[in-house]
Amino acid sequence: MEFISRNEIETENVGAVFAQSIPNGTVVAMYGDLGAGKTAFVRGMARGMGIEARVNSPTFTIVNEYIGQRQLFHFDMYRLGSSDELFDIGWEDYLSRGGVCAVEWTENVEDALEGDEIVVKIEKISDTERRITIEERE
Ligand SMILES: Nc1ncnc2c1ncn2[C@@H]1O[C@H](COP(=O)(O)OP(=O)(O)OP(=O)(O)O)[C@@H](O)[C@H]1O
Ligand SMILES: [Mg+2]
């Protein structure tokens, strides 16, 4: 599926509707440059999952946990050098907890993933336009 977003709120809205379509336990592997809108998309996911807290970037903590009607674990792998560090922070425990895992900077932990993720790509078309592509990994 492909969506064109014209501002941050539209990206959040796509994330909200998307989150309502995926089951608990889904890993969402996100790709997109700095400032593409990955965190905005996850903020919308949280809203769509009945979570009231405002989602911000977890850059300094690697993972933020949000519990509402559903559970959302928001990972930012920007600072991770390898997937070994991901296992150190308990990646497998998170997978087993049955929440949705949303992953920014998937590139840095590619070899830790199992290949059954849903891939969300966000590309900058202009200052304010984004192309959001959502697909299952083959
Ligand atoms: N259509 C749009 N969708 C999302 N964000 C947009 C859009 N247009 C402009 N922006 C701006 O782009 C920025 C997106 O920031 P955001 O933190 O979500 O990006 P990110 O992909 O998570 O970046 P990072 O890799 O640094 O974590 C915000 O400043 C937002 O206002
Ligand atoms: Mg971000």
pLDDT tens readout for residues 37-55: 999 999 999 999 999 999 9
Query: Which residue, among 86, 92, 128, 136, has the nearest Cα to 111 in the 3D structure?
Result: 86
pLDDT of residue 137: 86
Q: Would you tell me how many other CB atoms lie within 10 Å of the CB of residue 88?
A: 11
pTM: 0.97
pLDDT at 76 over 90: yes
Question: Residues of the chain with pLDDT > 90: what percent?
Answer: 85
Residue nearest to atom 31 of ligand 1 (CA): 8
Q: Which whole number is the average pLDDT over 118-129?
A: 98
Q: Residue 74: CB within 6 Å of ligand 1?
A: no
State the distance from the centre of ligand 1 to the C-alpha of 105, rounded, in angstroms.
Answer: 14
**Helix crossing, 8-21 with 38-48: angle to 10°?**
50
Residue nearest to atom 12 of ligand 1 (CA): 35
Of 14, 39, 80, the one to substitute when testing ligand 1's pocket (max ligand atoms within 8 A of C-beta) is 39
Query: Which residue, among 19, 4, 83, has the nearest Cα to 55 in the 3D structure?
Result: 19
How far is Cα 32 from Cα 12, in angstroms, rounded to an integer?
15
Amino acid at 117: E
Q: Would you tell me how many other CB atoms lie within 10 Å of the CB of residue 122?
A: 24
pLDDT of residue 59: 65
CB 132 within 8 A of CB 15: no
Q: Residue 7: CB within 6 Å of ligand 1?
A: yes
pLDDT of residue 51: 96
Q: Residue 117: CB within 6 Å of ligand 1?
A: no
Strand 118-124 relative to strand 130-136, pairing: antiparallel
Amino acid at 119: V
How far is Cα 82 from Cα 68, in angstroms, rounded to an integer?
31
